Amino acid sequence: MITSSTLSFLRGLRADNSREWFELHRPEYQEAYGEVIGLAAGLLREVSAFDPAVAASGLDPKNCIMRIYRDVRFSRDKSPYKTNFFVFINRGGRRSSFGGYYVHIAPEGESFAGGGVYMPEPAVLELLREEIGGHFSEWRSILSDEAFSKEFPEGVLPSGLLKRPPKGFDADDPAIDYLRYKGYYTRRFFSDAGVTLPGFAGVLSDLFRTVKPMVDFLNRAL
């Protein structure tokens, strides 16, 4: 369970993103990290119950959590730490190209969860576009599902957009709006109070079940 102390730690890290502050508050980080591991472990059990591909992957909860340390080698922003926790569950593990389910934990109502493929490599993106273009009626049916629309009122979001049709696709293709996407993901935001509810993991599990048909569709291409 995520408690208010985890969100408090992230607020403090946002206010003072320095190695000195982090080391001074390392015990709070370790406590928060432990809560996130617990959430990841619970979500793995839940997702494995309805996604056989995840169940067969034998994932370690620790390997589903993104590192809090930022890679600043090629970034203008030299802040050493991320100010959120991110859990990603998919078949093959977080380093694979497969789409999956995720939850982003951050204070001030910036937490969100969803599923999909975010910013894939060009070769992967090409496969996804071919799958959507070749089975557009199925894709459209998944996105128009009542439960999907209720959970994700924003619909499917892009990780960027092309100004022109991608190579190999016509401008008048029925799926052209989606073929211009550079990624396919969903999100639903949660308040701080929602994140710290005892039943938060169950809410996420239901959310992941709803987005599974879309995740399955995308992964089929890979």
Question: Would you say 152 and 114 are in contact if contact means Cβ atoms under 8 Å apart?
Answer: yes
**pLDDT digits over 95-131, tens only?**
889 999 999 999 999 999 999 999 999 999 999 999 9
Among residues 102, 194, 86, 176, the alpha carbon closest in space to that of 140 is found at 176
Among residues 101, 96, 170, the alpha carbon closest in space to that of 129 is found at 170
Looking at residue 52, its pLDDT comes to 96
Among residues 118, 103, 25, 33, the alpha carbon closest in space to that of 67 is found at 33
Residue 9 to residue 15: CA distance in whole angstroms = 10
Among residues 96, 102, 115, the alpha carbon closest in space to that of 57 is found at 96
Using the structure block, give the residue that is written with the tokens 């894709």: 139
Looking at residue 74, its pLDDT comes to 78
Looking at residue 205, its pLDDT comes to 97
C-alpha torsion 148→155→142→175, nearest 10: 170
Q: What DSSP assignment string belongs to 143-160?
A: HT-HHHHHH-TT-SB-SS
Looking at residue 162, its pLDDT comes to 96
Name residues of the chain where pLDDT drops below 70.
none
